[in-house]
Amino acid sequence: MGGTSEKTINLKLKIWKQNGPDDKGHFIEHEAKSVSTDMSFLEMMDVVNEDLVKAGKSPVEFDHDCREGICGACSMVINGNPHGPDTATTTCQLHMRRFQDGQTVVIEPFRARAFPVVRDLVVDRSAFDRIIQAGGFISVNTGNAQDANALPVPKVDADEAFASAACIGCGACVAVCKNASANLFVSAKITHLGLVPQGQAERDERARNMVQQMDQEGFGACTNTGACSAACPKEISLENIAQMNKDFLKASLKDRS
């Protein structure tokens, strides 16, 4: 029983420090002593920061919020892996029992041109928001809706739509992709809305506008390495990207403008 067998380990941390988007940045080294293996990774970082503050040193900035794996705020790359070594896991849900005593742990920010570093491990992911603003919605003003059961949605479609909509917008897909491509993120939204009947009216326009915005933000292209899906804490599948490609190609060829 894990909850009862508390152990402690010592770790050598190499943590990225960077004052702002224009600063070059560098690694600092920190010894984390007696880390309980029941801690989450972020709790370990809390302790590191508390130590740093007590020593009068500037703590490490990192994004985090819900610590339940759903808000998508936490965003570090741990030993080369976004959200650390475990699949289907966000950094906040990663626990220290996954690490060995004496291990060196390298902690970096998500690196992508479209995600400039704000400070230390905090990056600016507003590019994702702008992509959604370009078309990641169904245009239905409040009050316009018909009865919720008026349009049946086959369970299979509803389940698939849910699987795509499970994306938490954390950006791990971009972080792990050698091309810093946002294809998995964008395609998950296009697929989600394309699977429900309510999303059909704007389907073509949505695909065109979102892809155009994605390209403008400076993300790379997909080269089908599958890294994104492997790193995705919500295990969004590559099927989404194929679906997006199909929708986008179709929509572009149909485009009358």
Partner 1 sequence: MSNGTLNSNCPAGDIQSRWDNHKFSMKLVNPANKRKHSVIVVGTGLAGASASASMAELGYKVKAFTILDSPRRSHSIAAQGGINAAKNYPNDGDSIYRLFYDTVKGGDFRARESNVYRLAQISNNIIDQCVAQGVPFARDYGGLLANRSFGGAQVSRTFYARGQTGQQLLIGAYSALSRQVGLGKVDLHTRKEMLDLVVVNGKARGIITRDVTTGKIERHLADAVCLATGGYGNVYFLSTNAMNCNVTASWRAHKKGAYFANPCFTQIHPTCIPRSGDYQSKLTLMSESLRNDGRVWVPKEKGDHRRPNDIPEEERDYYLERIYPSFGNLVPRDVASRQAKFRVDEGRGVGPTGEAVYLDFLSAIKRDGEKAISEKYGNLFQMYEKITDENPYKVPMRIYPAVHYTMGGLWVDYNLQSNLPGLHVLGEANFSDHGANRLGASALMQGLADGYFVIPYTIGNYIASNTIEDVTVDHEAFKEAESTVRHRLDKIVAMNGSTTVDEIHRELGNIMWNHVGMSRTASGLKEAIEKIQTLREKFWVDGKIVGEANYKNAEVEKAGRVADFLELGELMAMDALTREESCGGHFREEHQTPENEAKRDDENFTHVAAWESTADNGGNKIEWQRHKEELDFEYVQPTQRSYK
Partner 2 sequence: MDLNTTFEADKDTVVMSSLLRLVKSTIGSKSLVGVTGLGLSLFVLSHMAGNLLILVDPKMYNLYGHALVTNPLIYLAEMGLIALFLAHVVKAVLLTFVNRQARPQKYAMASSGDKATSAVTKTMWAQGLIIFVFVILHLFTFKFGNYYEVIYDGEPVRDLHRLVVEVFAQPGYLVGYIIALLILGLHLSHGVGSAFQTLGFNHPKYTPMIKKISCLYAFIVAGGFIAQPLYVFFIYKG
- Touching partner 2, residues 7-66 (CB under 8 A): 14, 27
Decide if residue 26 touches partner 1 (CB under 8 A): no
Which entry of partner 2, partner 1, none binds 206, CB below 5 to 8 A by partner kind? none
User: Whose Cβ is closer to partner 1: residue 124's or residue 225's?
Assistant: 124
- Touching partner 2, residues 93-122 (CB under 8 A): 106, 108, 111-114
Decide if residue 165 touches partner 1 (CB under 8 A): yes
Binding test (CB under 8 A) with partner 1, winner from 14, 17, 27, 46: 46
For 36, list phi and psi in degrees, rounded to 5: -70, 135
Candidate segments 138-146, 179-187, 223-231, 246-254, binder of partner 1 by CB under 8 A: 138-146
Decide if residue 236 touches partner 2 (CB under 8 A): no
Residue 220 CB, shortest distance to partner 1, in Å, is: 21
Binding test (CB under 8 A) with partner 2, winner from 94, 161, 222, 235: 222
Residues that bind partner 2 (CB under 8 A): 14, 27, 77, 79-82, 85-87, 106, 108, 111-114, 176, 178-181, 211-212, 214-215, 218-227, 230-231, 238-239, 241-249, 252-253, 255-257
